[in-house]
A and B are shown apart, each in its own frame.
Chain A
Amino acid sequence: MAERSEPVTLTINGRETAVDADGETPFLYVLRNECGLKATRFGCGVGMCGACTVLVDGEATFSCITPLETLAGREVETVEGVSRAGEVHPVVEELIAGQAAQCGYCLPGIVMAAVAHLRSTPSANRASIAAALDGNLCRCGAHVRILNAIERAVQRMQGEETV
């Protein structure tokens, strides 16, 4: 490559990471190819399908249109971060328990959008969940199961809080 910028340092799933790649590179490719975190998926590359959704400082963000350089010093969470053995997020658990997928390609992005929504809206309901997922497309038509599963996750999390 012609010119290389300085490595960009950011936190990914709680770990400080320095990435040595062109700062313009969309973060999705950095994650998948440089960081080896390949569960975040490419769907459209232009911010229209949600397959690449990650959290940046807690907010659901399309990584395919987020240049690496804009993430310096920020905190990123990916689906790997919410599905580590022993700390699997209730959303992930309920999606699996509810068999809420067909091909599954859209799911990591949906998981992250749902996690962000549930964190900001503890009283989330079906309509608010659906609205929060409107930037995430699913072509297989697994929507009903996905909504059911996330609703169950909300109930579980509310139950756990009141205990």
Chain B
Amino acid sequence: MAEVVLKDVVKSYGSIYAVNHVSLKVEDGEFVALVGPSGCGKTTTLNLVAGLIPLTRGEIWIGDREVSGLDPKDRDIAMVFQNYALYPNKSVYKNLAFPLQMRRLGRAEIDSKVQAAAKVLDITHLLERKPRELSGGQQQRVALGRALVRDPRAFLMDEPLSNLDAKLRVQMRSEIKRFHQDMKATVIYVTHDQLEAVTMADKMAVMNGGFLQQYDSPANVFANPVNMFVASFIGSPAMSLIPLEAGSDGGTTVLRSPEGWSFALDGRNAAKVAKAKGKRVVLGARHSTVRLLPNAEPGTVPGKVYTVEPTGDVTFAQVFVSGALVNVSLPPTYAIRPDETVNVLFDQARMHLFDGETEMALTA
């Protein structure tokens, strides 16, 4: 296995920049999840690493070798596709053998490697079948088998689980994770599903509009999103964002709403707000850091309940605060009804503040 490095990588289609100045280092043996909304350039990035499409600018290194101009076959990587891309007219055995045949291995060596890979993935009994005679989960295993049969320098996976049903997805998730640990494999894994990213990845690369937004451990991305996009994209339900205005009230810094209410910030948050370019500040709050109080108290702001969704364990409520929808999680016993007026309290220690002009996180 080897590290994979992207240096200032650009891919443009005419005036469209599918990938925009992305720099990224995946350490040897690291599992990196590439996440972002549809069309943000995840597949393009993966295809650039694989060499399936030419770079517009930048460099790609795999191990100690620059591979920017190399054919896919010379990069020694393996890829698992969303639709598996199994060769439909070849048996499972021949699908697994194909990468080895292309590397001109001997018949006996091919056979032992195919059998070994089949055993690892528990598909030995399927070797004579054609792909169309397999279930989605089995096809997925074969696709994985074809990738690991030849011990490549890195694995690229483009939403490999998205065609599976929910239960199988959870199962395959842990199997891929397991396989990564056993093989000490370098993996770049594209997914739509944050839960997949959070549970499997050592690091998460969040992309938007071709730009790399943040590259860090899932815990850090969750705890310290660098901007409003990452904040609202990571976490479920999404972080609530409330546009407000910074002001001062008798010397203390407050956040004020267009409706006229305001609440005071503690010292650390006041210091953050002081760094904002203008007066516009966006308050970010995750559902678990917001509380509803029966009476108005200092620090609370008025809200109106919009929806209530009991899930059994926890009840999710959406509350309108100054025109923005705020997600709140409540104990299931909490009595609350739509259209009710409530008092909302934000946890000062765990709130996020963003510059309304630049949309970047404010730091003290």
Whether chain B is bound by chain A comes out as no
Write the residues of chain A forming the contact surface with B, with a CB cutoff of 8 angstroms.
none
